[in-house]
């Protein structure tokens, strides 16, 4: 195997989701001040890449579209064991929806070149569109398998993939190159080893701008994104309250009736 | 002066926190019930690098130093203090071997410690010793090429979990009358004694060793004959006390988090008790103590990494942090009210754990005696 690209996305840490808000103007997430983590499913994708490398060799390259301040997070992926990273970072990328992001990632993959497998998390925990992987594959004109829960390299030129479907799973065989979108059932990502933290310090993160990857500016950024947020509102969750009046016996009778009506107990 | 952590240290903290929050909680209930350490986590801890954090890479360790070790122990302690208690004593054995071991001893004993194949343990205290180290009764008498050891060692962390023991016994009189030994498990006359039933740090194994005409070859001396006090005190002071202080710091962090969460969640008089000034004062004191202790701990470990003398600073960090953890836990229990003494609330465990750190690795009084001497020395007539 020559090269495995793993797409990773910095996302707001779920522990701080109570501080995430929406920008009413752009209708996008306001992430300022929210600590970022690597999208959890992307770590499963990276683990799969590292296992493939252990058995079939090759180079594991992280690919991410994010501002330069995401570098410490990308370095976590290097500490887990990836060989190097490419960070697509340019102001013109800002505000890209999933289609525009896929355009940029596809350009990043072409820029890296010589890939056999592109691994991604099935979806990110912030946007959760689950669209990028298939869009990326389409733009690169290669196949995509989503919901991957099993992966084995049976030989140097073939992959055996287990895909979760609604009623169970199917086993597929594929050559290269291919985009695989993984579910958490696939594996348990390794913890960052301390030796990996030391090793990551000398691994390269290449920052790549649109001057390098040359995506049509009309197809990226907020203006180049076809997704338009129609509107938004904040849902309030409140407990229903109801006061039952009468004597104790009457209240109990009403209460039991209400419990039946709500379907908590069936006759 | 630089007060910020490096990217390396930040990533280390994040890595340990992820490990600790994922792997330790499922083990804690059983640890509390049985008083047993979950030995099955030794290998995963070794894979991450926890067991070999201060061991040089040439002996299978990571060699990241003492500030890194402090971060590791603190983060483990934030989740369950019995873990860093066990690990800090494990590191004491690594330090004693690194500092005083022969090449042969380092090659034999350090790699399995780093690989998590066994636990490190060090026994200095015996029933007649403790703070009065020289007063110990455990003896080692040289006959030919063999030392005959007789006596007992008590309050030994990891006592029943290790494949070899590092211990100190009397080979003469006075400060130069102590020697350190490595005793392999199964050596005739070396027996495991009782397991202690502590009220805190339940999951950290503590017990006794009994030596009954135990024959130890001369090559198992750790350091030279008569160097036992140096081996014991250097290991306890620089590795043991910084380790205990880090355990206390982890507890203190957990106390702060539990108290702050409870104060914001508990509603009285129609609003969270966090809005009450009495609670805010308690929280301010806990938070300030936490910050003081962080600074004490990080500084002393930085000094150790710079090879600076730091015996006074280790004593300051150890006694102050462990006492602060107890005081903070008491305040946090007051914030919790009656919930604070209920088993299902973590704060009662944190209080019990904090109490156990106070005498471990040297009492506050012994620490203060040393600090006092240092404080008075510049003005001595």
Average pLDDT over residues A193-213: 98
For B18-52, the DSSP string reads HHHHHHSHHHHHHHHHH----GGGHHHHHHHTSTT
Domains of chain B: 7-114 (1.10.540.10), 122-229 (2.40.110.10), 240-379 (1.20.140.10)
Query: For residue A77, what are its two tokens?
Result: 């992926």
Query: For residue B380, what are its two tokens?
Result: 């001595």
H/E run at residue B192: strand B190-195
Closest CA to B348 of B365, B362, B366, B334: B334
CB contact under 8 A, A197 and B47: no
Nearest-by-Cβ selection for A195 from B7, B18, B49: B49
Buried/exposed A23-40: b ≥16 CB within 10 Å, e otherwise: eeeeeeeebeebebbbbe
B226 φ/ψ sector (left φ>0, alpha ψ -120 to 50, else beta): left
Residues of A in contact with B44 (CB under 8 A): 191
Residue A256 lies in a domain: no
CB contact under 8 A, B15 and A198: no
Residue A154 is predicted with a pLDDT of 67
Residue B380 predicted with pLDDT over 70: yes
Q: Predicted confidence band at A19 (pLDDT cuts at 50, 70, 90)?
A: confident
Q: How close B109 comes to chain A (CA, Å)?
A: 21
CB contact under 8 A, B64 and A194: yes
Residue A32 is predicted with a pLDDT of 78
- Residue A240 DSSP label: -
Residue B362 is predicted with a pLDDT of 85
Reduced to 3 states, what is the DSSP secondary structure of residue B198? coil
CATH code assigned at A209: 3.40.50.620
How far apart CA A224 and CA A244 sit, in angstroms, is 57
Q: Predicted confidence band at A156 (pLDDT cuts at 50, 70, 90)?
A: low
Closest CA to A10 of A61, A62, A50, A60: A62
CB contact under 8 A, A75 and B12: no
CA A123 to the chain's CA centroid: 4
Residue B279 is predicted with a pLDDT of 97
Residues of B in contact with A195 (CB under 8 A): 49, 62
Does any CB of chain B come closer than 8 Å to the CB of residue A193?
yes
Residues of A in contact with B10 (CB under 8 A): 72
How far apart CA B243 and CA A160 sit, in angstroms, is 48
Reported as a single tens digit per residue, the pLDDT across B204-244 is: 999 999 999 999 999 999 999 999 999 999 999 999 999 99
Buried/exposed B44-53: b ≥16 CB within 10 Å, e otherwise: bbbbbbbbbb
Reduced to 3 states, what is the DSSP secondary structure of residue A32? coil
CB contact under 8 A, B19 and A191: yes
Residues of B in contact with A192 (CB under 8 A): 11, 14-15, 18, 48
Residue A155 is predicted with a pLDDT of 67
Residue A195 predicted with pLDDT over 80: yes
Reported as a single tens digit per residue, the pLDDT across B277-305 is: 999 999 999 999 999 999 999 999 999 99
Reduced to 3 states, what is the DSSP secondary structure of residue A42? helix
Residue A247 lies in a domain: no
Rg (Cα) of chain A, in Å, rounded?
Answer: 23
Residue B182 predicted with pLDDT over 90: yes
Q: How close B7 comes to chain A (CA, Å)?
A: 7
- Residue A267 DSSP label: -
CB contact under 8 A, B15 and A192: yes
Rg (Cα) of chain B, in Å, rounded?
Answer: 21
Nearest-by-Cβ selection for A192 from B11, B64, B68: B11
Residue A260 lies in a domain: no
Nearest-by-Cβ selection for A75 from B11, B49, B50: B11
Range from A202-206, A230-234, B268-272, B312-316 carrying the lowest mean pLDDT: A230-234
Residues of B in contact with A76 (CB under 8 A): 11, 14
Q: Which of A191, A198, A202, A205 to mutate to test the interface with B (most CBs of B within 10 A)?
A: A191
Residue A15 is predicted with a pLDDT of 87
Nearest CA in chain A to B52: A194
CB contact under 8 A, B7 and A79: no
Closest CA to B326 of B309, B305, B347, B297: B347
Residue B203 is predicted with a pLDDT of 96
Range from A7-21, A137-151, B64-78, B213-227 carrying the lowest mean pLDDT: A7-21
Residue A245 lies in a domain: no
Residue A28 predicted with pLDDT over 80: no
Q: Which of B6, B24, B48, B70 to mutate to test the interface with A (most CBs of A within 10 A)?
A: B48
Reduced to 3 states, what is the DSSP secondary structure of residue B206? strand
CB contact under 8 A, B68 and A194: yes
Q: Predicted confidence band at A233 (pLDDT cuts at 50, 70, 90)?
A: confident
At residue A211, φ and ψ (nearest 5 deg) are -65, -30
Q: Which residues of B touch A (CB under 8 A)?
A: 7-8, 10-12, 14-15, 18-19, 22, 44, 47-50, 53, 62, 64, 68
Nearest-by-Cβ selection for A191 from B15, B62, B64: B15
Reported as a single tens digit per residue, the pLDDT across A80-97 is: 999 999 999 999 999 899
CB contact under 8 A, A192 and B14: yes
For A138-152, the DSSP string reads HHHT--EEEEEEEEE
Residue A267 predicted with pLDDT over 70: no
Burial class (CB in 10 A: 0-12, 13-18, 19+), A119: buried
Give the C-alpha distances (Å, rounded to integers) separating B362 from A130, A249, B242, B370: 57, 66, 11, 11
CB contact under 8 A, B8 and A72: no
How far apart CA B101 and CA B86 sit, in angstroms, is 22
Q: Predicted confidence band at B189 (pLDDT cuts at 50, 70, 90)?
A: very high
Average pLDDT over residues B312-320: 97
Closest CA to B220 of B174, B191, B179: B179
Residue B220 is predicted with a pLDDT of 97
Residue A172 lies in a domain: yes
Residue A203 lies in a domain: yes
Widest CA span in chain B: 79
Residue B17 is predicted with a pLDDT of 97
Q: Predicted confidence band at B83 (pLDDT cuts at 50, 70, 90)?
A: very high
Q: Which of B4, B8, B66 to mutate to test the interface with A (most CBs of A within 10 A)?
A: B8
Tokens 């989740």 belong to residue: B79
Does any CB of chain B come closer than 8 Å to the CB of residue A72?
yes
Average pLDDT over residues A59-84: 97
Reported as a single tens digit per residue, the pLDDT across A115-142 is: 999 999 999 988 888 999 999 999 999 9
For B291-332, the DSSP string reads HHHHHHHHHHHHHHHTT---HHHHHHHHHHHHHHHHHHHHHH
Query: For residue A15, what are its two tokens?
Result: 């522990």
Does any CB of chain B come closer than 8 Å to the CB of residue A18?
no
Using an 8 Å Cβ cutoff, are B330 and B350 in contact? no
ipTM: 0.93
CB contact under 8 A, A194 and B47: no
Residue B372 predicted with pLDDT over 70: yes
Residue A31 predicted with pLDDT over 80: no
Nearest-by-Cβ selection for B62 from A191, A194, A201: A194
Return the sign of the alpha-carbon dihedral for residues A187, B57, B308, B234.
Answer: positive
**What is the number of domains present in chain A?**
1
How far apart CA B82 and CA B34 sit, in angstroms, is 13
Give the C-alpha distances (Å, rounded to integers) separating A77 from A57, A82, A192, B26, B68: 18, 6, 8, 26, 20
Using an 8 Å Cβ cutoff, are B183 and B214 in contact? yes
Tokens 């202080």 belong to residue: B245
Distance from first CA to last CA of chain B, Å, rounded? 34
Tokens 């600590």 belong to residue: A35
Q: Which domain holds residue A123?
A: 3-219
Cis peptide bond N-terminal to A214, omega within 30 = no
Residue A242 predicted with pLDDT over 90: no
Residue A104 is predicted with a pLDDT of 98
Average pLDDT over residues B336-342: 96
Residues of B in contact with A201 (CB under 8 A): 8
Query: For residue B260, what are its two tokens?
Result: 């702050």
Residue A55 lies in a domain: yes
């Amino acid at each position: 195997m020559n090269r495995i690209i793993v797409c990773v996305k910095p996302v707001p840490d779920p522990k701080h989701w109570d501080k995430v808000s929406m920008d009413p103007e752009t209708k996008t997430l306001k992430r300022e001040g929210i600590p970022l983590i690597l999208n959890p499913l992307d770590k499963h994708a990276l683990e799969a890449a590292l296992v493939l490398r252990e058995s079939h060799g090759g180079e594991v390259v992280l690919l991410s579209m994010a501002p330069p301040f995401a570098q410490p997070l990308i370095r976590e992926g290097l500490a887990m064991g990836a060989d190097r990273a490419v960070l697509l970072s340019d102001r013109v990328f800002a505000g890209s929806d999933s289609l525009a992001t896929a355009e940029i990632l596809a350009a990043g993959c072409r820029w890296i070149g010589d890939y056999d497998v592109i691994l991604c998390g099935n979806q990110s925990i912030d946007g959760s569109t689950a669209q990028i992987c298939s869009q990326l594959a389409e733009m690169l004109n290669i196949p995509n398998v989503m919901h991957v829960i099993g992966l084995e390299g049976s030989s140097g030129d073939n992959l055996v993939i287990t895909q979760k479907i609604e009623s169970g799973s199917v086993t597929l065989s594929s050559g290269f190159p291919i985009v695989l979108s993984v579910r958490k059932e696939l594996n348990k990502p390794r913890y960052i080893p301390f030796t990996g933290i030391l090793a990551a310090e000398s691994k390269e993160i290449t920052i790549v701008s649109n001057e390098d990857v040359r995506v049509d500016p009309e197809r990226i950024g907020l203006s180049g994104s076809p997704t338009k947020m129609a509107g938004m509102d904040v849902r309030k969750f409140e407990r229903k309250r109801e006061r039952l009046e009468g004597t104790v016996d009457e209240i109990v009778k009403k209460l039991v009736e209400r419990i039946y009506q709500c379907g908590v107990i069936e006759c | 002066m630089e007060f910020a952590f490096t990217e390396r240290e930040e990533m280390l903290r994040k890595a340990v926190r992820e490990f600790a929050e994922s792997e330790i909680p499922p083990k804690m209930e059983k640890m509390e019930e049985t008083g047993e350490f979950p030995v099955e986590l030794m290998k995963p801890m070794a894979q991450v690098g926890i067991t070999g954090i201060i061991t040089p890479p040439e002996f299978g360790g990571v060699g990241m130093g003492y500030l890194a070790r402090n971060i590791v122990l603190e983060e483990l302690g934030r989740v369950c203090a019995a873990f860093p208690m066990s690990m800090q004593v494990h590191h004491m054995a690594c330090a004693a071997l690194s500092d005083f071991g022969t090449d042969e001893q380092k090659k034999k004993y350090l790699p399995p410690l780093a690989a998590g194949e066994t636990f490190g343990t060090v026994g200095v205290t015996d029933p007649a010793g403790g703070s009065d180290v020289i007063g110990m009764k455990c003896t080692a008498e040289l006959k030919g090429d063999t030392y005959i050891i007789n006596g007992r060692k008590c309050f030994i962390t990891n006592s029943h979990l290790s494949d070899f023991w590092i211990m100190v016994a009397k080979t003469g009189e006075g400060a130069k009358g102590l020697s350190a030994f490595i005793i392999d498990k199964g050596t005739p006359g070396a027996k495991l004694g009782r397991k202690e039933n502590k009220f805190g740090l339940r999951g950290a194994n503590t017990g006794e060793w009994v030596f009954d005409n135990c024959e130890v070859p001369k090559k198992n001396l750790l350091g030279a004959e008569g160097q036992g006090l140096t081996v014991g005190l250097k290991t306890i002071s620089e590795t043991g006390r910084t380790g205990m202080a880090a355990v206390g710091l982890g507890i203190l962090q957990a106390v702060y988090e539990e108290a702050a969460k409870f104060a914001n969640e508990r509603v009285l008089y129609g609003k969270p008790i966090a809005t009450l000034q009495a609670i805010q004062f308690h929280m301010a004191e806990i938070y300030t103590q936490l910050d003081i202790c962080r600074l004490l701990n990080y500084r002393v470990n930085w000094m150790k990494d710079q090879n600076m003398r730091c015996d006074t600073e280790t004593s300051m960090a150890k006694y102050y942090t462990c006492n602060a953890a107890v005081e903070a836990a008491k305040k946090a229990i007051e914030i919790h009210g009656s919930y604070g003494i209920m088993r299902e609330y973590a704060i009662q465990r944190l209080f019990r754990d904090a109490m156990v750190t106070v005498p471990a690795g040297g009492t506050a009084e012994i620490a203060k005696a040393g600090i006092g001497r240092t404080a008075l020395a510049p003005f001595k007539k």
